[in-house]
A and B are shown apart, each in its own frame.
Chain A
Amino acid sequence: MPEIRVTPLGAGQDVGRSCILVSIAGKNVMLDCGMHMGFNDDRRFPDFSYITRSGRLTDFLDCVIISHFHLDHCGALPYFSEMVGYDGPIYMTHPTQAICPILLEDYRKIAVDKKGEANFFTSQMIKDCMKKVVAVHLHQTVQVDDELEIKAYYAGHVLGAAMFQIKVGSESVVYTGDYNMTPDRHLGAAWIDRCRPNLLITESTYATTIRDSKRCRERDFLKKVHEAVERGGKVLIPVFALGRAQELCILLETFWERMNLKAPIYFSTGLTEKANHYYKLFITWTNQKIRKTFVQRNMFEFKHIKAFDRAFADNPGPMVVFATPGMLHAGQSLQIFRKWAGNEKNMVIMPGYCVQGTVGHKILSGQRKLEMEGRQVLEVKMQVEYMSFSAHADAKGIMQLVGQVEPEGVLLVHGEAKKMEFLKQKIEQELRVSCYMPANGETVTLPTSPSIPVGISLGLLKREMAQGLLPDAKKPRLLHGTLIMKDSNFRLVSSEQALKELGLAEHQLRFTCRVHLHDPRKEQETALRVYSHLKRWAPRSFWLGLGRSGARGGSHCASRQRPQGPLRAAPSRWVRDCGVHPHPGCCPLRGPRHQGAAGVLDLPG
């Protein structure tokens, strides 16, 4: 039985460490190669030894696909390719290829320089790893080898985020990575065509949430910043360097422009500056507004947003500062926070989720006195606001995408088990699509019924098509012909040609049977009655043809109607037609139903 096997090594009923193995028609593909934020031991990387107990990964895996540059999707890549050892191709989009090494380098620095870890990948390894990357364009079909092809679609989660379709022959899988169905200020909404894959692997971060309109959130955010600036306060916005930060920058930038505001906006330097550069470059990956206006002015060439310097924090007057990191646990954002916390005019806006134990989490849960290192107590007088800007699809968005793709099955990853359960139930109920949610290391096997292309001569097709009068596109149609299997090659030809090719003569078989009629009438009369009866019931000439093909309208060769399994094991040379033409007069009492059964003889195993 042909099947698709999916095994999550990470992100199965979990968020973080995305890594999913897919075997499809004999090809093995690894989707994403991420690290886990929550662990510092071996668990932070996927267990690659699962893939192959012994032997090289390169021999086993046909390719690796990275959906976007977030570390939980690409963080383990250098480890995987350089330390474990993988030399095959790694596919990702151009922006991901550009930004990914910056983030990996940053991650390495924190791990090695700050935490002093040994046995971690080096800068050189990152470089070597990136050399194995093949960049793809949106909607470009990339032929990995003769059979395996992949295609990227826009996902709208971060710059360069993509969904991938993996296709072998007629079997295909779509992996969404992280995606967003509602457009934001700098990215568009995810889009994919109705490709009807066998399986859709989708993230489900917000499986149980339907979100409010983004406009309310934006408006609230702008209003709060505006008010704080107007009364002369300083606003601190701790952000992660990439993604949301750019969105918020654009939001503030346009607002400043519209409202003619003069207060300065600063952005902490370093990593982000490099990233901003890439945002400027990859304009085609942004949303409609930015794409349309960049000729006049690139939206990422911020007019009001300047680079931050440590000394600016003490400047008088209102200002807005974006600073990393986003959870206020260390670095510049924490320094600024300590400086400004004492003034009630100031404000801090947390635009995202904060992990327990960080300063961010403490102030969000309402703590007003913070104990800093060295037994210092910091009193927080400044306003603390929380705004959620997240770029994952919500439950409705996920359903919308599933509806758009029309898969045969859905597999949920990248979410919490409890929430997945709900979504799974909904998908099965409302879309009537089977749904899976494997845990890490658990394998889902999905039987497929691949369609086998059968060549048919145009002449035969046209002749058979001409028999029906009205177009009936969606209904399978009966075609008569002879199926020839030769060197894993299937052809449907007319019976005459088949005979010719095989050098066989036509044999006629005649079936006769005797029927006793007990009719009191005269011979002649009886014969007439029988004749008229037959004429009514069997108006068409009936003859037996054996090749059966439900042609779908005019689609060129055969069909979605899949021949049954035994065909596969068939010997290389086979003929399945006897060219049987029963004499119409010889089986007189056969009704139409019998004829049907005879006409569609199933192939014997």
Chain B
Amino acid sequence: MAAHLKKRVYEEFTKVVQQQQEEIATKKLRLTKPSKSAALHIDLCKATSPADALQYLLQFARKPVEAESVEGVVRILLEHYYKENDPSVRLKIASLLGLLSKTAGFSPDCIMDDAINILQNEKSHQVLAQLLDTLLAIGTKLPENQAIQMRLVDVACKHLTDTSHGVRNKCLQLLGNLGSLEKSVTKDGEGLAVRDVQKIIGDYFSDQDPRVRTAAIKAMLQLHERGLKLHQTIYNQACKLLSDDYEQVRSAAVQLIWVVSQLYPESIVPIPSSNEEIRLVDDAFGKICHMVSDGSWVVRVQAAKLLGSMEQVSSHFLEQTLDKKLMSDLRRKRTAHERAKELYSSGEFSTGRKWGDDAPKEEIDTGAVNLIESGACGAFVHGLEDEMYEVRIAAVEALCMLAQSSPSFAEKCLDFLVDMFNDEIEEVRLQSIHTMRKISNNITLREDQLDTVLAVLEDSSRDIREALHELLCCTNVSTKEGIHLALVELLKNLTKYPTDRDSIWKCLKFLGSRHPTLVLPLVPELLSTHPFFDTAEPDMDDPAYIAVLVLIFNAAKTCPTMPALFSDHTFRHYAYLRDSLSHLVPALRLPGRKLVSSAVSPSIMPHEDPSHQFLQQSLERVYSLQHLDPQGTQELLELTIRDLQRLGELQSELAGVADFSATYLRCQLLLIKALQEKLWNVAAPLYLKQSDLASAAAKQIMEETYKMEFMYSGVENKQVVIIHHMRLQAKALQLIVTARTTRGVDPLFGMCEKFLQEVDFFQRCFIADLPHLQDSFVDKLLDLMPRLMTSKPVEVVKILQTMLRQSTFLHLPLPEQIHKASATIIEPAGESDNPLRFTSGLVVALDVDATLEHVQDPQSTVKVQVLYPDGQAQMIHPKPADFRNPGPGRHRLITQVYLSHTAWTEPCQVEVRLLLAYNSSSRIPKSPWIEGGEVSPQVETSIEGTIPFSKSVKVYIMPKPARR
């Protein structure tokens, strides 16, 4: 029976997939079609009142209908439609028609005639609107059919004069989705049938109902989205709508203006009330800028967002957005920004001690002051000061985008961005810091600006501080005082928030390497060296001292004269730091230094190539030497694994590859070791104990393969095959070991069957890659598959055993970019001796703060695990909002974990660690087969599990019994 079953399964699997699917579909159809429509028919006939009928329809709508039965259902619905007097039921039927015509695999052209027909006799405006909606659904379903489209457009045009706004809305929507510009006019020659949709829609820009006006603009935008080119004539119409009374109209009009400005940026438009002419994009820019001070914040957000994407605008206009032309009592006043700049250039700092320091200077000609500029004046100044933070964020984003495309604008907007660092809402502050980072290659910070920037370093929000560190990493500073200031502030930050240590060191590393010449004159002061006297040697473990050294060493890398200023102990510290913090301290060429220079510099300076070569070589060595005797192979594997691991530690950019290959080799090593066991030579019952090693190896290989599959980002299909192959081997090993150690055949049946299914699954999934697996375990296995299918478990095991031994070592091709997912828990630090006390049975919140590297989709995969001393484990899913994304490939998890337990007598430690959850079905290429439904998930297609990928941190907690 079992054999028979196996055979059937096997045979079915080898069939062409297409056929199978059809078969299933037809089967279903026969089953469902009559029941569905018939039931509906009966129900509707039964219905005595409109309310009843509505209920039936609502119930019916909850269940999906198959493509084949749609037509029948539609007929029944239409039939009832004609009979029905109640508009609400007709409305529901109309909406159902629309829904049904969206069903995949159903061609709705057959119901179109009916729909249009009933449309003509319909009186209720609501039903009319719904019917038009249905037609829209039909029309969008049949985008190729020109005739239908034209017919629908005709219908829509006819109903445009309806008195109800809902009907007009839908008509316009229909026109927007289906209408065409005079494209077909040229084709037909006469073009009587085809209407110029844009003209028709444009007429409704002045409809009396704001909703219709909005719909008209939306329809126009829809035309644009469908790739039809709008005429420029529309621009003037749209401009008029900017002063509409209704916000949704204004908001849509802003979009339309933006679209036109992108279509015809260079055409010339006249300025009203003067003879001048300007480019359309400039004019549109001015108009949208004006909308930044609109009365409705929705419009303001919209306008501010769109400003960012208008890159063709001329710089003259762009710079006006930051200019507000201050005046006081009719005299021109300089902005605080200008004053700051002036003070800076005159070499004097602001005293601010005098009243009227900002006293206005020159008189203004009253005629020349224009209080409401038609142009772009001060748009961003307003946007950044807006009451709603949504507007402010939009304005900051827009600034960012514009500044990226225009360096001169970047320079100008700097002051404003710096000001945003003091916003009351953290999101806005963060956004502006990020923005600044993005445009940092275009700008150089002045000292006073740097001062303001650095003041934010004391912010209590960690996000802000770290964003700022990132910003400082890529900032250009103009003077050596600036560097000194930055260093001082960073050190202050370090003492205030010691947890920022790593981030600050990294920041100083880049600061140093970017400004070597500015650091140079500061060196004696920073190292507190004295030309004559030896100064005390600073404490090597002081994070602040390390920070200073990191700055100096990184600057010294490109500044060969600097090492001359170092004192003896500096060199010693260099050697120490180079080793302990190699990612922060670069290799230096230190002349005249025997110890450090000779050993390190020549070998490491051109480091990129050799290490990579080394990696390749050692791997090749392994792959070529597979025919060595087992002992030699093992030793070589062990050696290589060790080398790779060390390499990974030394060269961070190769860490992913090295680890990945090392893991693979370790699997191989385990497999070899397991097969070397004596267990295989001795009669089964005797070796219960030794088999532990083999089964443990099998288990470990499985674990490692999951790690390889899910912990590395950038793994390609090629690697996945190899990994699965390795896993298959492990499973085979497991099967053999169990076969050897268990008595009786019954459990083996199930296991064998399962294994064979897995092989089959493997084959199906990776059928394309099989040719690459020549001579491998699976290759041989598949050759013998028919035989295995029919043989008894004991034989299967025997065959497997020989095959495992004979199988060759597969070459693992290395992917281009591979990174290992890793996580570091920053908080809790696990050093505290004070237990966290709480009343047992209640909860205590533990702040967890961790950085995740190279984790794809952390929101769904990363979990927090808490292990209690009694072995109880708890898994916590952090909220998606707890993850931040500070940079590509990096994530930050800041969450709270709730702990609870019954009372303990002593404080004890719980372990907190991060887990990476995986689900194998997500990786495996899906075959349409499995979705077919008939195939039950008999193969374990999805294995869910978790991999711990961070070091666990111990937290001291103490649940106390509740006091009575």
Contact = CB atoms under 8 A, between A and B. Distances in A.
A364 B810 CA distance: 85
Contact of A258 (B161, B330, B352, B459): B459
A365 interface: yes
A419 B387 contact: no
B389 A400 contact: no
A368 to B, nearest CB: 11
B371 A399 contact: yes
B230 to A, nearest CB: 21
Contact of B384 (A193, A212, A213, A224): A213
A422 B364 CA distance: 11
A419 B372 contact: no
Contacts of A552: 208
Contact of B389 (A289, A384, A404): A289
A259 interface: yes
B386 interface: yes
B295 A213 contact: no
B293 A384 contact: no
A214 B378 CA distance: 14
A462 B162 CA distance: 12
A106 interface: no
A216 B419 contact: yes
A377 interface: no
B161 A469 contact: yes
B324 interface: yes
B366 interface: yes
A253 to B, nearest CB: 11
Given A220-B352, A473-B206, A474-B206, A215 B458 contact: no
Given A208-B327, A216-B419, A289 B425 contact: yes
A443 interface: no
B208 A553 contact: yes
Q: Which of B327, B387, B419 is the most central at the interface, judged by chain A CB atoms within 10 Å of its CB?
A: B387
B335 A183 contact: no
Contact of B335 (A191, A216, A383): A216
Interface stretch (A83-91, A423-431, A493-501): A423-431
Contacts of A254: 424
B370 interface: yes
A194 B249 CA distance: 14
Contacts of A470: 203
A430 B372 contact: yes
Contacts of A471: 161, 203-204, 206-208
Most chain A CB neighbours (cut-off 10 Å) among B204, B326, B337, B461: B326
A327 to B, nearest CB: 13
Nearest to B378: A396
A554 B355 CA distance: 60
B30 interface: no
B61 to A, nearest CB: 35
Contact of B326 (A211, A288, A350): A211
A55 interface: no
B496 interface: yes
Contacts of B424: 185, 254, 289
A219 interface: yes
B423 to A, nearest CB: 8
A383 B354 CA distance: 10
Contacts of A474: 206
A219 B388 contact: no
B387 A215 contact: no
A185 B164 CA distance: 46
B422 interface: yes
Contacts of B381: 213
Contact of B386 (A183, A211, A404): A183
B639 interface: no
Contacts of B358: 212
Q: Is the contact region of chain B dominated by helix, strand, or loop, or is it mixed?
A: loop
A395 B422 contact: no
B833 interface: no
Interface in A182-211: 182-183, 185, 188-189, 191-194, 208-211
Interface string A169-191: 00000000000001101001101
A223 B697 CA distance: 64
A396 B372 CA distance: 7
Contacts of A219: 419, 422, 452
A471 B333 CA distance: 51
B203 A189 contact: no
A386 interface: yes
A47 to B, nearest CB: 30
Nearest to A469: B161
A204 to B, nearest CB: 12
Interface string B344-377: 0000000011111110000000100111100000
Nearest to A185: B424
Nearest to B459: A258
B372 A422 contact: no
A384 B461 CA distance: 32
A430 B370 contact: yes
Interface in A339-386: 350, 364-366, 383-386
B385 A214 contact: yes
A385 B353 contact: yes
A400 B386 CA distance: 14
B906 interface: no
B325 interface: yes
A194 B460 contact: no
Nearest to B329: A208
A426 B366 CA distance: 9
B384 A215 contact: yes
A364 B353 CA distance: 9
A278 to B, nearest CB: 21
> For A224, A366, A471, A555, which residue has the most chain B Cβ atoms within 10 angstroms?
A471
A584 interface: no
Interface string A534-565: 00000000000000000011110000000000
B245 interface: yes
Interface in A469-501: 469-474
Given A216-B336, A425-B366, A183 B355 contact: no
Interface string A207-251: 011111111111110111010000000000000000000000000
A557 B324 CA distance: 45
Interface in B452-506: 452, 455, 458-461, 496
Interface string B198-224: 000001101111000000000000000
B769 to A, nearest CB: 55
B328 interface: yes
A287 interface: yes
A212 B384 CA distance: 13
Given A217-B336, A218-B422, A430-B371, A555 B208 contact: yes
Contacts of B460: 257-260
B683 to A, nearest CB: 72
Contacts of A270: none
Contacts of A425: 366
Contacts of B458: 258-260
Interface in B300-353: 324-330, 333, 335-337, 352-353
B161 A431 contact: no
Nearest to B460: A260
Contacts of A182: 385
B245 A194 contact: yes
A403 interface: yes
Contacts of A193: 295
Contacts of B352: 220, 224, 385
B328 A259 contact: no
A223 B370 contact: no
Contacts of B209: 554
Given A182-B385, A215-B385, A216-B335, 4 more contacts: A192-B295, A210-B328, A365-B355, A396-B371
10 contacts: A189-B387, A213-B381, A215-B384, A216-B335, A259-B458, A288-B389, A384-B353, A422-B366, A473-B208, A555-B208
6 A-B pairs with least C-beta separation? A553-B208, A183-B387, A216-B336, A215-B419, A364-B355, A473-B208
